[in-house]
Structure 1
């Protein structure tokens, strides 16, 4: 099953993609309702409306397939870490701590973009894409989503969507020197789409170790820049979800990105390996394709300068008011 949000002359619609048409959920339900109900309930809803006339996909504009409750993004591909660290530190280095547990950061759920959007960018000269597969969390009866083991975590994976974690590498580099972040190098935009494909649709791609062996590709202005198998990640998705829930909670509508795939999954990796590829510029088209899920396409928009802020002012560290 594929679940989508869209807009057309009738307004915003939410429902299933059935063949070459979109069909609204019955009873005015929204994507958030369907995620909370879980995959089995979604399948029953699909049976109700799968033969409805719907609206041709060609007559709607797809929106991001959900309004996330939160967005976590992992760094689960060793090859990506090798390449990016070479660009930042001058040599390829994967810290021993990377192997101990899957690391992630939280980013902004309010700047999610859709396929087809022109993505405005900050005042950066090192704009990059990041090709990822993301899981979308659904509801499971009787579970709070807290401190899950991998088996329980797998049941919380409702489906998958393509993710582009847009990155301003120059802004990010400054932020990371403060030993916190990334923040403004990342939170201006993230593309999700074109829809959510339910987890059962990708079961045929699971290898013997539980990794998803789906092909991921990225094209810039029609030229393929990167390609990888998602099964090259260091942990399968249920283990990422389990880690996210550890002493915490995952809820329906949470999005968890795989992190950037290797072999050109971002320009930063290629820069670290000495490849002379220019950063993205306004007008560039970025297309990402993940087997079994779909594709997202965006054009880089204009730079939007932000109001200037003064630097930190040295303070006397007086402990008592005058």
Structure 2
């Protein structure tokens, strides 16, 4: 099943996609209602809640298929990591990357859907896209094993982790993440594909989906990647994310950028002069086997509001740093 959300008369509605048509459902049905259901239960929900005629896909506006309560973005493609490090002048990943699937939390308020515009963030001159896969959690779970985690994956979708590279560069070494470099847009779509539809692509413990990107309709010359090259499976990522905390229906876990899936890697081998950053009017399209394609158009943004420098050197209060003694 392909689970979508559409704009129908100004109201967001869950819909099911079948080839080039969509069947809207009643407003009583949410995306998570279908994600938590078994395939047979989901089909029953659709039959009972079909609302109105089947519509041509070309005549509806798709929204982001889910409003995620949380959004984790991992870094699981070694080729992308190597390209990023080359641009930074580093020689090898930190050893911790090989020990656990690392992630950061992204901005759920900045989620947009397919065909939505993405504004250049204030102060950005090096705008980039990122080609990623993502899973959406179906059933809640905590402290899951990778084997149990598979039953908690409700579906798969495409994810574009838009990046302001020049806004990231000065702040990432501080250790608090990309700050405003990734705070402005995350594209999810075009819909969520349930796991049963992608089983033909499974190779052992990985899905083997071919991934590629187009810029203004032209495939990137270096080609794309395959999801089988992920260093960690989605089941392992879900297991790690659930350590000591509960994953809930609708939570999104993204794979991180695949090899050759962003302009940054081109800049690592050439330069931003040879491969220019994104500009207003550019159309970025991400494509994945078994899922489909998602496009977004870059538009002009606003200028950055200036702020003063930090106030430092002010009088500080005296503090007593004598160790606290307890009765333990």
Q: Normalized against structure 1, the TM-score is what?
A: 0.92
Q: CA deviation at 1:25?
A: 2.8
CA distance in 2, matches of 1:111, 1:219: 23
For residues 50-81 of structure 1, the C-alpha deviation after alignment (integer angstroms, 9 at most, x for no partner) is 89732221221101111111100000000000
Give the unaligned 5+ runs of structure 2: 320-328
Task: Provide the residue aligned with 2:250 in structure 1.
Answer: 253
Matches within 5 A, 1:79-98: 79-88=79-88, 90-98=89-97
Asked whether the 8 Å contact 1:138–1:158 carries over to 2, the reply is yes
Asked whether the 8 Å contact 1:220–1:287 carries over to 2, the reply is yes
Asked whether the 8 Å contact 1:26–1:45 carries over to 2, the reply is no
The alignment yields a C-alpha RMSD, in angstroms, of 2.0
CA distance in 2, matches of 1:50, 1:217: 34
Matches within 5 A, 1:309-320: 309-316=307-314, 318-319=316-317
Task: Provide the residue aligned with 1:292 in structure 2.
Answer: 290
Task: Provide the residue aligned with 2:183 in structure 1.
Answer: 187
The question of 1:124 aligning with 2:121 is answered no
Task: Provide the residue aligned with 2:14 in structure 1.
Answer: 14
The question of 1:279 aligning with 2:274 is answered no
SS at match of 1:184: helix
CA distance in 1, matches of 2:190, 2:11: 18
SS at match of 1:195: strand
CA distance in 2, matches of 1:220, 1:108: 25
The question of 1:110 aligning with 2:109 is answered yes
CA distance in 1, matches of 2:168, 2:80: 16
Asked whether the 8 Å contact 1:39–1:158 carries over to 2, the reply is no
Q: CA deviation at 1:11?
A: 3.2
* Counterpart among 234, 237, 248 of residue 234 in structure 2: 237
Alpha carbons of 1:215 and 1:318: their partners in 2 closer, same or farther (altered >3 Å)? same
Task: Provide the residue aligned with 1:221 in structure 2.
Answer: 216
CA distance in 2, matches of 1:267, 1:232: 19
CA distance in 2, matches of 1:107, 1:51: 34
CA distance in 1, matches of 2:276, 2:107: 27
CA distance in 2, matches of 1:181, 1:175: 7
Task: Provide the residue aligned with 2:174 in structure 1.
Answer: 178
**Greater shift after overlay, 55-64 or 286-295?**
55-64
CA distance in 2, matches of 1:306, 1:212: 42
Asked whether the 8 Å contact 2:24–2:52 carries over to 1, the reply is no
SS at match of 1:97: helix
CA distance in 1, matches of 2:27, 2:55: 17
Asked whether the 8 Å contact 1:73–1:107 carries over to 2, the reply is yes
SS at match of 1:177: helix
SS at match of 2:171: helix
CA distance in 2, matches of 1:47, 1:11: 21
Alpha carbons of 1:55 and 1:181: their partners in 2 closer, same or farther (altered >3 Å)? same
